[in-house]
Structure 1
Amino acid sequence: MSDDPVTARLMRRALPVVTALASLLLVVTLAGALYLGRDILVPVALAILLSFVLLPAVRALRRWRVPRVAAVLVVVLLAFGILAAVGGLIAREAAQLATDLPRYSLTLRDKITALRAATAERGGLSDSFSGFFDMAEELGKELQPPATEAAGDARLGTAERPMQVEIHAPRSGVLKTLGSVAGGVLHPLATLGLILLFTIFILLQREDLRNRAIRLAGSSDLRRTTAAIDDATGRLSRLFLAQLILNLAFGVVIGIGLWAIGVPSPILFGVIAAISRFVPYIGAVISAVLPFAIAVAVDPGWSMAIQVALLFVIVEPIAGHVVEPLLYGHSTGISPMAVILAATIWTFLWGPIGLLLATPLTVCLVVLGRHVERLWFLDVILGDRPALGPQEIFYQRMLASDPDEAIEQGRLFLKERALVTYYDEVALAALRMAQEDAARGSLDRDRQAQVGSNVRAVVETLGQVRGRGLALLGRRRQKPGSAEAEAALAAVGPDRSDAAVVLRSEDLAPGWRGAAPVLCVTSGGAFDEAATLMLAQTLTRHGLTARVVSRQDLAALPPGERPAMICFSYLDPISLSQVRLTLRRARQAVPGVSVLVGFWRERDPASLGRLRRQIAADRLVTSLGDALGAALEQARATPEPMRQAAE
């Protein structure tokens, strides 16, 4: 690198642009390689996906002491035999349907005539559908069998027949004819042969391929990488096998339904439905178009078409929303936008085969992104997991001065969990992120004040929300172990039991029955003030009325006001000597008071023990839940806990 500071600065500024251009060039090169190498890559991709499906069968034969080579050959040949039989069945049914289509043209023409007459009475509708009717009539004419010469002679009568002129291409040689025929036959056979060979090779060399993948992914941590790849392989195998079973069952149900309705060639349409359902979102719709059209052409009325439409409308939601979640979860792990984008890209690169392979290939990429550290970006781009955590979304909304989304997030959280848990896991975590940015100089004082003000607005709004447990039982005291108490505990979700406790005035110790038995002292920063407000609100919601004061207000307490507990809230890095001085002054102002200190950034147990000894606090906590538990323990008049629905 040049020693010139100006050149070095320019190079640093140009580095992001160069990186972006290099990434774009890499993407274009990869897309070009996928497009140009599709004749080889498509068989390889199909073989990999087929190996995932066949792997459980191979493992089952291996458990029965069948040699590996024999197990692989038996499973692969059986699978390809089934595929060949299905292909022959499709060809036979398609040929039969093509033979029968001209017979349905008269019914189709009669329906078109009736629809045209009906729409002609409505004026504008006739113009709207005229193009469709003309196209349908042309299709009907094409489906009609050609008129025989005898019929032509009868129509011409005694008129002179016109001279027919035919133009013939030069007769090609035998080799050229054989080459054109062989080219159309050998290419699919060659592709099928490549898929067969690759599938056998992948199943035979699975361990060796896994080891090579581990070496590429990173061999520094063999245990973790091996476990990740094995887990990814198992997940993909189960996913594709379950998807295959579900789609086959879908095709069988559709075929049986079409047969019961009376649609011709139900086996063909059942197979098409099973194959089309591998295409997400639109596969079932595509598979319904052709049988619906055939039903319209076959039935003089509309009952058959309506029954076909109802069949797909009923079966597809059941398969997609009931059976599919039971088999392999509510989702394939891909975001809806990624599914559509992947289908578009793979179809452009590999044609119809790419459309069928889009979802399985994208699932492979997402699973690898979740398990292989170097490929983490694939999960972020394609996966359905949130790109940002709740605390990151909270902080981002605070930076954008848009607290409404954070408030809505909190409302959803409170339907299942306690408010104190939301503050600990989301709001305080977001404040710690803000404090880290402030320590790095990324947030100036104005931005810090703005973020703190937004957080306080969220806290004040959520403090007025009635949580699930509070709406269920209110603030009535229940006996410990009663059904109402257990319901209250269950209502606040998997939180600590303190989140389901509310103390009334008669439940409090004598020193805790004042107007404000708890004083929450903020250290002065914008973020500390928001954290202190959360602490005071949490204590107040559980029957311990708390008031937020500053250190200056604490020093000027009226003589008659004696709190039972003083809570100090610290978020940013602090001076322990200043903390000790503050605590000493608090004890001088209110002799005998209980002192609780909250260090909302500290998590190391060893550091907590050291800090507790150095600052001489009665209680040292690192979460609002711990602070709530400590305060409730001291405030109770009796040691027996009283279960209440708080949140």
Structure 2
Amino acid sequence: MRVLPNDRAPANGDARAALADHDTRPSPIIRRTDLIAYVLTSLLAISVVAVLYVAKAFFLPVVAAFVIGTMLSPAANFLERHRIPRALSAVLIVSSLGAGVTFIVGLISAPVMQWTGRLPELAGLLKDKLHIFDRPLALWHELQSMLGVSNAFSAAPFQMPKLDWVQPALEFLPPTFTEFLVFLATLILFIASWRDLRRALVMTFTSHNSRLRALRVLNAIEDHLGAYLITVTLINMGVGAATGLVCWVTGMPNPAGLGALAATLNYLPIIGPVAMFAVLALVGVMAMPTIGSGVIAPLAFVGIAFLEGHFVTPTIIGRRLELNALAVFLSLAFWTWLWGPMGAFLSSPLLIVALILRDDLSTSSSPQLP
């Protein structure tokens, strides 16, 4: 039987009407499946953070060894190209690193021990120099009494902090020493076997495109972390040399130790320069004849830190990998809260790794040769 065109018209009209009704329905902003995925991802992130916090004694030395080992891997590759076995290269690199750290600690610890033994004398000197603030403090106390504000600290005598640190240090050393041994062993083994680990990690993927992508990510992480370590080390050495020169010119005691301390603390973003300024201010006030001469070196260090933080480091590091200031601060706050000073040191390298992974996941799926 032949179907007339008029017989198909009502059916087409009903389909258009149904499609129009379907299009006018409001679509949900967040689908139920997406909401469940977000919730599960959030629970997974909270669980990972909780595990990293509770098992800090294990994960901190292991993660630190992985990050630092990746930074030092280009040096091992260089020695391996000159026919030095990978295992021997790992031992040589870690021994050199340990010798450098020991030298820096020696420069810093000598004046610290000397000043610790002179705490009573230094307390008297600091108290005498603070007499110039007696008049402003008296006016402040008088203003507080006129306003009826109580000052519970006005009658408290000035005292230097007690050095009750022997017992806590003895309780702190055993786990710290154990973590250091775990870190040292993991670092040597990681550098020695990094090439095999890379190959095994790449071969876990089944497709050729996935293997190329994994290899590209590993190469980017190794290159960026190695360049970051070299660049930051050179910058910190410059900061330490400039700080030591300023301390020597202004007559500060032990300028070499203060310069080494400035270079070491500068590995900690934001926290390190602030701590170094406090150290220079305290040493300057106690060691220099007047408070005016004692604040010259701290103010000069503020200028050095400003130039380094706002011009030198962004110009050099920003050419290879852009690090947002807010992201650096949040990463520093999170890892410092989670793992303390070592977490602060690892915050920038871990942020670099996260940015590399984000850039790779956000690119197209078409593979590129590494």
**In the alignment, does 2:217 pair up with 1:228?**
yes
**In the alignment, does 2:75 pair up with 1:57?**
yes
Alignment of 1:493-512 (within 5 A): none
Residue identity (%): 23
Instruction: Output the CA distance in 2 between the equivalents of 1:126 and 1:90.
Output: 45
Other-structure match for 2:127: 109
**In the alignment, does 2:317 pair up with 1:328?**
yes
Instruction: Output the CA distance in 2 between the equivalents of 1:198 and 1:79.
Output: 15
1:103 corresponds to which letter in structure 2?
A: E
- 1:259/1:31 CA distance change after superposition, 3 Å: same
Q: Is the 8 A contact 1:273 1:284 kept in 2?
A: yes
Alignment of 1:396-411 (within 5 A): none
1:317 corresponds to which letter in structure 2?
A: F
Instruction: Output the CA distance in 1 between the equivalents of 2:112 and 2:215.
Output: 47
Q: Is the 8 A contact 2:332 2:347 kept in 1?
A: yes
Q: Find the partner of 1:211 among 192, 199, 202.
A: 199
Instruction: Output the CA distance in 1 between the equivalents of 2:295 and 2:37.
Output: 57
Instruction: Output the CA distance in 2 between the equivalents of 1:271 and 1:56.
Output: 26
Q: Is the 8 A contact 1:279 1:359 kept in 2?
A: no
Instruction: Output the CA distance in 2 between the equivalents of 1:271 and 1:23.
Output: 44
**In the alignment, does 2:370 pair up with 1:352?**
no
- TM-score, normalised to structure 2's length? 0.77
- 1:352/1:131 CA distance change after superposition, 3 Å: farther
Per residue, is there more helix in 1 or in 2? Answer: 2
2:80 corresponds to which letter in structure 1?
A: R
Q: Which runs of 5+ in 2 are unaligned?
A: 1-26, 366-370
Q: For residue 159 of structure 2, give the secondary structure of its aligned residue in structure 1.
A: helix
Q: Find the partner of 1:43 among 53, 61, 70.
A: 61
Other-structure match for 1:277: 266
Q: Find the partner of 1:302 among 280, 291, 299.
A: 291
Q: Is the 8 A contact 2:74 2:222 kept in 1?
A: no
Q: What whole-Å deviation, never above 9, does each CA across 1:84-105 have from its counterpart, x for those lacking one?
A: 3333443333211212332222
Other-structure match for 1:74: 92
- 1:104/1:366 CA distance change after superposition, 3 Å: same
Q: Is the 8 A contact 2:240 2:259 kept in 1?
A: yes
Q: What is the Cα deviation at residue 207 of structure 1?
A: 1.9
Q: What is the Cα deviation at residue 28 of structure 1?
A: 0.9
Instruction: Output the CA distance in 1 between the equivalents of 2:238 and 2:312.
Output: 10
Alignment of 1:159-558 (within 5 A): 184-215=172-203, 219-221=207-209, 222-329=211-318, 332-372=321-361
1:358 corresponds to which letter in structure 2?
A: S
Other-structure match for 2:103: 85
2:178 corresponds to which letter in structure 1?
A: A
Instruction: Output the CA distance in 2 between the equivalents of 1:248 and 1:344.
Output: 25
Q: Is the 8 A contact 2:73 2:222 kept in 1?
A: no
- 1:52/1:225 CA distance change after superposition, 3 Å: closer
Q: What is the Cα deviation at residue 26 of structure 1?
A: 0.5
1:63 corresponds to which letter in structure 2?
A: R
Q: Is the 8 A contact 1:279 1:355 kept in 2?
A: yes
Q: What whole-Å deviation, never above 9, does each CA across 1:562-599 have from its counterpart, x for those lacking one?
A: xxxxxxxxxxxxxxxxxxxxxxxxxxxxxxxxxxxxxx
- 1:365/1:256 CA distance change after superposition, 3 Å: same
Instruction: Output the CA distance in 1 between the equivalents of 2:299 and 2:285.
Output: 14
- Compare relative contact order (CA 8 Å, sep 6+) and give the higher one, 1 or 2: 2
1:97 corresponds to which letter in structure 2?
A: W
Root-mean-square deviation over aligned CA pairs: 3.5
Other-structure match for 1:99: 117
Q: What is the Cα deviation at residue 35 of structure 1?
A: 0.6
Instruction: Output the CA distance in 2 between the equivalents of 1:373 and 1:208.
Output: 28
Q: For residue 47 of structure 1, give the secondary structure of its aligned residue in structure 2.
A: helix
Instruction: Output the CA distance in 2 between the equivalents of 1:40 and 1:345.
Output: 18
2:183 corresponds to which letter in structure 1?
A: I
Q: For residue 351 of structure 1, give the secondary structure of its aligned residue in structure 2.
A: helix
Q: Is the 8 A contact 1:239 1:328 kept in 2?
A: yes
Q: Is the 8 A contact 1:47 1:199 kept in 2?
A: yes
Other-structure match for 1:386: none
Instruction: Output the CA distance in 2 between the equivalents of 1:47 and 1:184.
Output: 21
Q: What is the Cα deviation at residue 325 of structure 1?
A: 4.2
Instruction: Output the CA distance in 2 between the equivalents of 1:343 and 1:267.
Output: 28
Instruction: Output the CA distance in 2 between the equivalents of 1:58 and 1:296.
Output: 46
Instruction: Output the CA distance in 2 between the equivalents of 1:109 and 1:181.
Output: 29
Larger Rg: 1
Decide which moves more: 319-328 or 304-313. 319-328
- 1:268/1:45 CA distance change after superposition, 3 Å: farther
- 1:181/1:273 CA distance change after superposition, 3 Å: closer
Q: What is the Cα deviation at residue 234 of structure 1?
A: 0.9
Q: What is the Cα deviation at residue 255 of structure 1?
A: 2.6
Q: What is the Cα deviation at residue 181 of structure 1?
A: 8.7
Q: What is the Cα deviation at residue 68 of structure 1?
A: 1.9
